[in-house]
Amino acid sequence: MASLGKIYSYPNNYRVQRAQALAALNGTTIELDSAFQMGVTNRTPEFLAKFPLGKVPAFESADGTLHLTEGQAIARYAAESGPKAAQLLGEDVKTRALVEQWSCFAEQELSSNMLPPMLMCVFKMYPYDEARFGQCVAGFERAAKRVEAALEGGKKFLVGEQLTLADVMVVGVLQVAAKFVMDQEMLKGLPNVEAYLKGMLEVPELKEAFGALEVCAEKVKP
């Protein structure tokens, strides 16, 4: 398969996995730079010349003319770069707006609430704050219930009757959350979300990128 380009990041970054899943759906690939070292590579003059803030994931197109650092933009580029672009992004203005809405929701509601508990308790990047932890878990559950409601009636996809960028963006976050925040107790109230995740992770391209669904018995603790 043709390569869209190279992506720089630490291992198991769900934002990278989403881009790779979308590339695969379009019959292309995105190479993960195996020599990348977080805190080293992204501080070199060469890296900063292309990506001034040193952020990851960082994407460089195969022809070297495009440099992107926002996960949502990288995912959209992968979705639009191939024969399934119309399906993944939407074939009319209303569908495209709904796909974009869910893509933003994945970052602004799901990711923003999932990450602080993980950064406090798993990666130890800053001190545990009980109030902040509780606020984020509650915010994540509220957002997950929004997904639950959207899937009522046995819906398999968030927008329309086929897989879109919206599904890949949301599933990318939910499958990580299931390992750390969205535990078995929370999932009892999210049967549609659980069924949706299991179905999405049977799609070969998504299964290859994300792996099998893993659900934690209890959410992370300090």
d(CA 73, CA 26): 16
| pLDDT tops 90 at residue 1 | no
| pLDDT tops 90 at residue 207 | yes
Domains in the chain and their CATH numbers?
A: 2-86 (3.40.30.10), 90-210 (1.20.1050.10)
101 token code pair: 């809405």
Residue 165: closest CA among 86, 109, 94: 86
| pLDDT tops 90 at residue 195 | yes
Parallel/antiparallel/unpaired status of strands 58-61 and 67-68: antiparallel
pLDDT tens digits, 140-189: 999 999 999 999 999 999 999 999 999 999 999 999 999 999 999 999 99
CA dihedral of residues 79, 83, 88, 94 (deg, nearest 10): 120
pLDDT at 161: 96
pLDDT tens digits, 69-107: 999 999 999 999 999 999 999 999 999 999 999 999 999
d(CA 206, CA 23): 10
Burial class (CB in 10 A: 0-12, 13-18, 19+), 209: buried
Q: Which residues pair with 59 in a beta bridge?
A: 7, 68
pLDDT at 222: 85
pLDDT tens digits, 37-77: 999 999 999 999 999 999 999 999 999 999 999 999 999 99
